[in-house]
Amino acid sequence: MTQTVLVINSGSSSIKYQLVDPETGDAIAKGIVERIGEALGTIKHVHGADVTEEELPIPDHEVGMREVLRLFDAKGPVLSEAGIVAVGHRIVQGGKYFDGPALVTDEVRDLIERLCPMAPLHNPAHLKGIDVARELMPDIPHVAVFDTAFFQQLPEKASTYALNAEVAEKYAVRRYGAHGTSHQFVSREVAKLLGRDDLKQIVMHLGNGASVSAVKDGKPIDTSMGLTPLEGLMMGSRTGDIDPAVVFHLARQAGMSIDEIDHLFNKESGMKGLTGETDMRSVWGLIGNDEDPETQAKARVAMDIYINRLLKYVGSYTAELGGLDVITFTAGIGENDWRVRRELAEALEPFGVKIDVEKNEGRIGEPRVVSTPDSKVLLLVYPTNEELAIARQALTLL
Ligand code: ADP
């Protein structure tokens, strides 16, 4: 029988799941439970062409997970016959404790709990998923796969802030990075695709949350997210890099509380804060709308800031890498937004980067080269697949 892994991404009010065949990469079934804790929750379960959508009260994660298991048995594939050898749990913050996947024991669970202050929105929600799934599927090994694990290999010069060392040590303040599962998966797949281990790579994971990493000979040497996913690129609703003194300024001058500033920086800034829109398709819509020149101009400036931030990271990471072989674009924007890829590539033209305009605009969905044969740097689009990466990592422990 085919071996499969059930991958679970448990959020504060949602549970995403996917039954993955780690060998072929196929998602045999997948779904999402949303609005847990609200008066009415929703579940969507997809098995092949069969899509089931239900609305029902889902007071907590336990009910949510039980409903998922019920849907598997009712709509297929029946779990006891699905060849599940592991449950893989996505965990955002693994701190200094985890540099790879870990079999979930009570001790591992406690460490994830201890890290809650470092990821207050994520780790507590992951723990709910782990607890419920372990209870409902006690005979299957559960594996935690950490978003930060890949970047535990960062050299100290990239992982350390120039913050007072005693304070940093006492409060575990350092750069942990995020999206590590994706950066690791994509950089490895690119190395395989090109048949080379000795690559100087930049990986751009551009989704609603966005990060960029520099990978040399398969190891990460720098990444744009830091203690939390707030640092680095401009994002859908996050500021990315900003002078930390803005916090002092807003606290003193605007009388804002720390929680208000946290919310402002994470949820009301970035593209949303500059244009009112988080989705890049909507931002391009504003840029194309000649009937509202004021909004159009603001959106164009926001896009210029977005591209300029990407450009700065390419420049600094190329210097850190000591050269550059390939830039790979992945995630929602990286895979779909050909204009972003094109504007960045055009800004890099003075360095011999050449984009193939036609290939770049073609439909993506599979790995493809979008640079011209004479470009000094290869430009690639490689769809990320975090569920598959989690499933494969989980298998390595069995
Ligand atoms: P996350 O996992 O961080 O929520 P995704 O990787 O799914 O994000 O990316 C979502 C984003 O991708 C959307 O907010 C949107 O900006 C962008 N996106 C998706 N499809 C397109 C498209 N066809 N063109 C431009 N941008 C797109």
Torsions phi, psi of 195, nearest 5? 65, 35
280 lines ligand 1 (CB under 6 A): yes
- The residue-averaged pLDDT of 241-253 equals 98
Burial of 366 (0-12, 13-18, 19+ CB in 10 A): exposed
Gyration radius (Cα) of the chain, Å: 22
Comparing C-alpha atoms, which of 121, 315, 326, 97 is closest to residue 209?
Answer: 121
143-155 pLDDT tens trace? 999 999 999 999 9
Which strands sit side by side in the sheet containing 219-223, from one edge to the other?
A: 219-223, 210-216, 200-206, 326-330, 378-381, 368-369
208 lines ligand 1 (CB under 6 A): yes
365 lines ligand 1 (CB under 6 A): no
- Tell me the two tokens of residue 299: 């959106």
User: In ligand 1, which atom is closest to the CA atom of 271?
Assistant: 16
Task: Kindly tell me the sign of the dihedral angle through the C-alpha atoms of 133, 135, 141, 143.
Answer: positive
114 lines ligand 1 (CB under 6 A): no
User: In ligand 1, which atom is closest to the CA atom of 282?
Assistant: 16
pLDDT number for residue 121: 83
31 lines ligand 1 (CB under 6 A): no
Q: How far is CA 197 from the centre of its chain?
A: 24
Which strands sit side by side in the sheet containing 142-146, from one edge to the other?
A: 50-56, 41-47, 27-34, 15-20, 4-10, 84-91, 142-146, 102-103
- Of residues 50, 99, 106, 147, which has the active-site annotation? 147
Q: Which residue out of 34, 183, 272, 280 has the highest number of ligand 1 atoms within 8 Å of its CB and is therefore the one to mutate? A: 280
Lowest mean pLDDT among 111-120, 136-145, 347-356: 111-120
* Measured distance CA(70)–CA(224) in Å, rounded: 41
Question: What contacts 105, CB < 8 A, 6 or more positions away?
Answer: none
| 331 Cα: distance to centroid of ligand 1 (angstroms) | 7
Smallest CA separation from ligand 1 atom 2, residue: 207
Q: Which residue out of 186, 208, 272, 343 has the highest number of ligand 1 atoms within 8 Å of its CB and is therefore the one to mutate? A: 208
Smallest CA separation from ligand 1 atom 14, residue: 279
**C-alpha torsion 85→205→324→359, nearest 10:** 100
Query: Is 106 noted as a catalytic residue in this protein?
Result: no
Lowest mean pLDDT among 50-54, 165-169, 221-225, 363-367: 363-367
- Given a cut of 70, whether residue 208 has pLDDT beyond it is yes
Q: Rounded to whole angstroms, what are the CA distances from 272 to 207, 234, 238, 280?
A: 14, 10, 8, 10
- Given a cut of 80, whether residue 306 has pLDDT beyond it is yes
User: In ligand 1, which atom is closest to the CA atom of 206?
Assistant: 6
233 lines ligand 1 (CB under 6 A): no
Confidence tier at 366 by pLDDT (50, 70, 90): confident
| 90 labeled part of a ligand binding site | yes
- Given a cut of 90, whether residue 118 has pLDDT beyond it is no
* Measured distance CA(355)–CA(374) in Å, rounded: 10
48-77 pLDDT tens trace? 999 999 999 999 999 999 999 999 999 999
- The residue-averaged pLDDT of 357-383 equals 93
Smallest CA separation from ligand 1 atom 3, residue: 208
* Measured distance CA(162)–CA(366) in Å, rounded: 41
Whether the model clears a pTM of 0.85, i.e. scores above it, the answer is yes
207 lines ligand 1 (CB under 6 A): yes
13 lines ligand 1 (CB under 6 A): no
- The residue-averaged pLDDT of 306-326 equals 98
| 266 labeled part of a ligand binding site | no
Q: Rounded to whole angstroms, what are the CA distances from 68 to 27, 31, 80?
A: 16, 8, 14
